[in-house]
Amino acid sequence: MSPIYKNPALSVDAVWIRRGRVLLVRRAQPPFRGRWALPGGFVELNETVEAAVVRELKEETGLSGRPRALVGVYSGPDRDPRKPTTTVAFLMGGRGGVPRGGDDARAAAWVPLADARRLAFDHDRILRDARRRNPARSIVPAAR
């Protein structure tokens, strides 16, 4: 008989920074209902993390993007109040466009980087790490 392992859930987050703004979603479901967060979610069975971040981005914002670089891997038993999770966060790129909330996102928007704080989960840390990894993209002024 095989041992039963209790493993953390695997999730992904998309960090898409363009023209001084970051793509965020307003959470429609607990935990953190109503708070801004990075688009992301759980990896499905037989899915790569790269495919999962593309799928989650599309489901939650309606936008198509692709992973450009790894921001980091975030783990710990207290990252998500539902269960222990390990997240793979990616810097994303693509054509952009006007986001619309979908799936479990009540809304989606390009938020000025200066206003992107007090995000759900540990997304402030992930965004900070992404900006350090790619500072040139973080300081481009927003188009009006």
pLDDT computed for residue 105 by the predictor: 87
Domain that holds residue 83: 17-138
Q: Which residues contact 142 (CB under 8 A, 6 or more apart)?
A: 19, 20, 21, 110, 112
pLDDT digits (tens, 9 = 90+) for 50-70: 999 999 999 999 999 999 999
Residue 38 lies in a domain: yes
Residue 12 lies in a domain: no
Residue 129 lies in a domain: yes
Contact 78, 34 (CB under 8 A): no
Q: Which DSSP state fits 113?
A: G
Total of domains in the chain: 1
Residue 91 lies in a domain: yes
For residue 46, give the CATH number of its domain: 3.90.79.10
| Alpha-carbon dihedral angle through residues 60, 25, 119, 142, given to the nearest 10 degrees | 130
Residue 90 lies in a domain: yes
How many angstroms separate the CA atoms of 44 and 23, rounded?
23
Higher confidence at residue 34 or residue 142? 34
Residue 7 lies in a domain: no
pLDDT higher than threshold 50 for residue 87: yes
Q: Which DSSP state fits 77?
A: T
How many angstroms separate the CA atoms of 144 and 70, rounded?
29
Helix, strand or coil, per DSSP, at residue 107? strand
Residue 125 lies in a domain: yes
pLDDT computed for residue 136 by the predictor: 52
Does the model's pTM come out above 0.75? Answer: yes
